[in-house]
Amino acid sequence: MRTERQVSLFKNGRNQALRIPREFELAGNKAIVRKEGECLIIEPVQRRSLLAMLDTWEPLEEDLPEIADLTAEPVDI
């Protein structure tokens, strides 16, 4: 796969845009763009799983009240 290719810039309304060649397509439908000097860096947004997000949380340091374990009562339908 080629790592470099010349592309054309164009205007899309008030924004400048470029068409990303097929060999450089990013996964997903969102990306992060940042500028480093004269370079633009485009990275796909990685979807995080719920488990990955929960893994970053710190444990609670407070005492939570006890919750009574009530048995369900039968209901006539």
Report the percentage of the chain scoring pLDDT > 70: 97
**Residue 1 confidence class, pLDDT cut points 50, 70, 90:** low
Q: Is the pTM of this model over 0.85?
A: no
**What average pLDDT does the chain have?**
89
Q: What is the dihedral of CA 17, 21, 22, 24, to 10 degrees?
A: -90
Separation CA 60–CA 64 (nearest Å): 9
For residue 26, give the DSSP letter.
Answer: P
Q: Which residue has the higher pLDDT, 46 or 21?
A: 21
Domain locations in the chain as residue ranges: 9-52
Q: How many CB atoms lie within 10 A of CB 44?
A: 13
